Structure 1
């Protein structure tokens, strides 16, 4: 766009620059029912203005609104008809087809400046009024920046840049732009995290074509840049703003590293050693962030180290209680440098076993329930984690696994079951894994008193079919030695030859010497036995059955 010569309107020099005054409407000899509000310039298109008009006459509407624009007593533009807006009702605006322009752009306004607006409104019942000085047409330039760019892409070797842009004024009506020369523009650098320093603002003055380059900025971290300019003069009014976020030229390094462990418990130290190179050559003096990781991403727990003259580095990491991670990560920590390497490392979280309930049934089977979870994170969810039940005869030594299961994913609960036992010491045990540390439940002694039925005898033998079989035996409990167990319920069972299921035949009680005598009817060859079903403190009895031949 060629440079234009702007003629400053001097006829309105007395008008305030910062405040657009609105003169009161002239009084008619008789008050008109038609009213006119203040006229105001549209800021985005200063060749347009709008005004509110109304009538107090019942049943009447405003049918026409016209305006004159003048400098002193000289009319520089006439608008024969303003268009009513769809909203709000009663608001009238210069139509875009009649936008006011400079004479050099095909309009009638002689120069950039500010002009008085007179408005005339008429209603449908013939009422009319004219408001002199209804407002001011702010026919000034609107400041605007062209797109802002850095003059160079910063790098590790050269971290300085200048931001460049152009300041222009947008003309009313035509939208043409003209340079705003000799204006002071503010450039501000804003680091993302207010580091390494707070916002910095530097100023520069535009040249003849409005072009402007900022003073030199250093760029030591990710930053954004802003250009700002504000003017309120006879020629231009308003603020201009432009934003840019420059990219950088990265310095790519190759990181190689290894850890001295494949698994570290909470509190244990892991040493990671490595080297940084660029195109095969050592990179000394660069920062490397080494941390515990997850899925190849570093965490906040780590150490930043500096490479030595040969590009080598060493970092020591400590496992953090309560954090379940996997792996280590080494990343270039210098702003312009990029590089990344990761490796395997199991970092099991601390675990605990809670709510353990252990039961020893009368049939000798053990059932243990409880929960397994992360010590420091109750909401931790994990794949089914194995837990086992250990047994020891004395509760101190000789522990051995007797059952294993997995804690459920959501509720973290488990149930362990064993076969028959005569009792002993039990504990729930989680063996150290890559996910969780070793943990134990409480040691619990499970015991019951053993019982047996001895001297089982079924008679007569042989026996005739349909005859009565009398079965006797003595119930004993092992309470400091085998002793008679008196007044206890017992039952007589029969197992026919060739069958697998025992049948209940009769019930009774032992006498004061633990003796039992029960009867049944002989029907088939088979075995007879007396059994005691145990109670909360006793096991089920053992016994040797007696076979009877039926003839």
Structure 2
């Protein structure tokens, strides 16, 4: 093409008489590309009766800039779709190869067109057929769901074999379905693909007693089929438990000082569970053995509180042994360093908790109950505000036991304020345990009625 443009340009410049002299001779004109026939493997018709078949299309060109192979499905009157081709050059010749998968949905007469792009762009065309010779009869055999009795949440194995006209039918999609006891409907749980000789298998989690089966949906090449159903019984497993917010405090603590342990026991599907014994264990630094120290019975919302005397540094944790229908559990471990106590001060100051009030009252269940008061220290005969760590305690109406609820701090002026949600009627109070400079004190108690 470039040569023709140059010739035309020179002809205009030199005049018409020069055109004949400068025109290329027939001997120097570019030769048209050569295009061989197209080979199709397997040789048509392509039989997809037993499943999808990948066909390979190949041809060779010589002198072509590039090549193209278009495939047009049955009934399509438009332009065919180009097939992706891979070239393999050998001397002056280039072999072009492409593949396409056909299944029963592609049955019918296809058209193909090969083009060698270049001078004249020669082409070849033809047709081939994709056929389904027979619709296969299928059957699912050897279906099994096992074991037949498991705990809720356990894994079970589903297996079976898909046959077509009595032979293993591989590469097919099979649905695993389940019908729960009391229901009339099967629902799909998962899908699997049959392997060698039509065998299939899957692992699923059992959540309820019911029947399992395998289903093969009909295709253009094969009829559908459904396996026999296999029942799996599911027992209700034990509920899980966990101990949360476990804390051993204070940390560090002086030897001989008081250590307190708090946390809550939760059971799967419930709020905190009351009336369950939780044990406190200790593992001294450098030891591998846990030792029982003390225990407490959970109160409302599963909370527990226990205390002991600090003797040495080490790890602390809470353990629940479990009960009928509930598994036991162990909390995270909490490290506490025990120091040698400092020499006691020559004299400690008295403190007092005053103006304690729990409000509003009465209060609706689940609403926030507020608490205020003041912590003061006796400073040489005058009472002044004091900043200290103060605990809030609750005693349910009809109970003899005070339960730890939470800890708060008074401000530098001694002012105290905190809040918690109210669940039951009862008595409330603040407790200041004292510190190295002061003695502790307990506020007056205040009764609050909780309305349902």
TM-score by length of 2: 0.33
Q: Which structure has the bigger radius of gyration?
A: 1
TM-score by length of 1: 0.28
